[in-house]
Amino acid sequence: MPSNKSVSDAPIVQFTNCRILKDHQLQREDLWVREGKILNPEKLFFDEKGSADVQLDCKDSIIAPGFIDVQINGGFGVDFSLATDDFKSGIDLVSQKILSHGVTSFCPTLVTSPPSVYHQVLPQISVRNGGAHGAGILGAHLEGPFISKEKKGAHPEHCLRTFEAGAFQDLLATYGSLNCVQIVTLAPEMRRSSEVIRELTKRGICVSLGHSVANLSQAEEAVQHGATFITHLFNAMLPFHHRDPGIVGLLTSDKIPAGRRVFYGMISDGIHTNPAALRIAHRAHPKGLVLVTDAIAGMGLAPGRHTLGQQVVEIDGLNTYIAGTKTLSGSVATMDTCVRHFQEATGCSVETALEAASLHPAQLLGIEHKKGTLNYDSDADFLMLNDSLYVQATYIAGEEVWRQDVSGM
């Protein structure tokens, strides 16, 4: 057998008998992996005269890029907005547990909190690759406190803030550091928000519009200054109105700068967004839809009382409310559930549903050259799924990190 030693000693794994999500289509071809990357088999055969060291029969599974969750507040009893001494072990627990739901990378999300919480928590979040220890961390998503009082949702009003004269300095003083920050959600109608959006964008931080009473022209202006995302569309914003569609109008706006795409998060849990609203958004702007869980500490736990930052929340089935009210506060849905619900509700193709949780969030964060696709040389973070889109196995950097236990079935 020809050797591949000339280029690399690393073993080459060939995944056979599978359908790969590539170029927006499920294609019947093998997947080749070496040193944590997707390999081009033609180069291997013709340039290196190499072949696979290991072959794995996927038994006709779908292979899709790993899911990327850009808005997750916690789960399994861990709340990312609580400053605790064992915060690191909490984030490790969540990153381990979400592997079974197909999430290979995520943005731990902090809801509106006092400055002291940001100052304690943010230094404990570090960007890191995924592996057997858990999903990779892409950076924090800071949702608030620079948001609208009228649309605060589950965010505590006493912690909300506005931008004063030195707007960007206010933000820095509140957060303490932007070192590991990937996304900031703010309300674009706030005075001086434009300069903040420009400064954040300049630093490579994604600005998302949410918890807001902005009209369409304020939202368009924010996009012209660099905003590229909408936090949980339809939730915590003005409802669509035909004379001024508000932030929702960005989906079909003709004032988006050339070459720019606006993405929008959707909590596809069957609770936060009626299936008809999900269909409207998807049909209006399919390439911008990003599935997010907006999961809270109660995800994966029994119904009852749990926390979301400074608030107590009550879980009743799939509904999560601020205790004693009917204000929705995050979700307990897992990412694989959201993907299946999205496909069912919209009747979209399997490919479209999978890309909403992988390719689109990667494009939003500008990391699509390494995550969110199965293109050659991209990171070998991928899932094996059955035809009903249930995750059977999760791989990070080409290594199996989770597999469905079928022994009891």
Active site residues: 294
Is 329 known as a binding-site position? Answer: yes
Query: Cα–Cα distance between 102 and 121 in angstroms, integer?
Result: 26
Beta-strand relationship, 103-111 and 67-72: parallel
Query: Cα–Cα distance between 400 and 176 in angstroms, integer?
Result: 37
Q: Are 22 and 375 in contact (CB under 8 A)?
A: yes
Is 143 known as a binding-site position? Answer: yes
Burial class of residue 321, CB neighbours in 10 A (0-12, 13-18, 19+): middle
Is 306 known as a binding-site position? Answer: no
Q: Are 147 and 179 in contact (CB under 8 A)?
A: no
Is 330 known as a binding-site position? Answer: yes
Q: Are 82 and 309 in contact (CB under 8 A)?
A: yes
- Using the structure block, give the residue that is written with the tokens 């300095």: 169
> What does the angle CA 361 – CA 33 – CA 337 come to, to the nearest 5 degrees?
35
Is 154 known as a binding-site position? Answer: yes
Tally: H helices and E strands in the chain: 10, 22
Is 203 known as a binding-site position? Answer: no
Name the token pair of 116: 């002291």
**Count of beta carbons in the 10 Å neighbourhood of residue 222:** 27
Name the token pair of 27: 């294609």
Q: Are 208 and 185 in contact (CB under 8 A)?
A: yes
Query: Cα–Cα distance between 218 and 215 in angstroms, integer?
Result: 5
Is 119 known as a binding-site position? Answer: no
Query: Cα–Cα distance between 114 and 309 in angstroms, integer?
Result: 10
CA distances (Å), 197 to each of 10, 50, 167, 232, in order? 44, 50, 10, 19
CA distances (Å), 244 to each of 124, 186, 213, 253, in order? 42, 20, 11, 12
CA dihedral 365, 399, 353, 342 (to 10 degrees): -100
Is 235 known as a binding-site position? Answer: yes
Query: Cα–Cα distance between 72 and 183 in angstroms, integer?
Result: 12
Residue 301 carries which DSSP code? S
Encode 35-73 in three state secondary structure.
CCEECCHHHHHHCCCCCCCEEEEEEEEEEEECEEEEEEC
Binding residues for Zn(2+): 143, 211, 232
Q: Which residues are annotated as a binding site for substrate?
A: 154, 235-236, 243, 272, 328-330
